[in-house]
Homo-oligomer: A and B are copies of this chain.
Amino acid sequence: MPDSPPSLDSVQLGAYFDLIEVTSLLRHAVEQQLREAGDLSYVQFQLLARLGDSPTGGHRMTDLADGVVYSRSGLTYQAGLLEKAGLVVRAPSPDDERSVTVTITDAGRALLAQVLPGHVEVVSSLLFAPLSRDDVTVLARLLAPVRDHMRSTPPRSAAPRRRSD
């Protein structure tokens, strides 16, 4: 017989559905704000934010793509747009000739600073408004192990297919 019929109890099911719905709604709201405030898509904002966080202001393409959970070809496309807009610069990496290092420009930092307050405002008022300070702490403690677990779980396709394929 197959390994224990997988099932989710009603609490799990509700948590799962709510998780999906909450992030969908949040993403829509944020997307709209970013479009209005700086003509940025959510992905573009994520990329700029990640670059802005980096001490050097730069990242390799692949690491950047992994960081925002995005396809490599998609990143190439977005990097092209951002570069055309003068928000980032692409240059061959010093140590490895294959890889490209993307670096945020001053204009990129400026735009980031321009849209950030509104972004924070949306997240605050939509996601954190109904939560107390303690609630947020608890939520963070719940999410961290899930994040680590997911990061360390190879995306199915990467799992070595032993036999029968």
Question: A residues bordering B, Cβ < 8 Å?
Answer: 5-8, 11-12, 14-16, 18-29, 32-33, 46, 68-69, 117, 120-121, 123-131, 135-140, 142-151, 153, 155-157
Contact residues in B for A117 (Cβ distance below 8 Å): 5-6
Copies in the complex: 2
The answer on a CB contact under 8 Å between B135 and A69 is no
The answer on a CB contact under 8 Å between B155 and A131 is no
Which label, helix, strand, loop or mixed, suits the secondary structure of the A interface?
A: helix
**Partner among B25, B46, B143 whose Cβ is within 8 Å of the Cβ of A19:** B143
The answer on a CB contact under 8 Å between B69 and A140 is no
The answer on a CB contact under 8 Å between A32 and B155 is yes
Contact residues in B for A16 (Cβ distance below 8 Å): 123, 127
The answer on a CB contact under 8 Å between B120 and A22 is no
CB distance from A138 to the nearest CB of B (A): 6
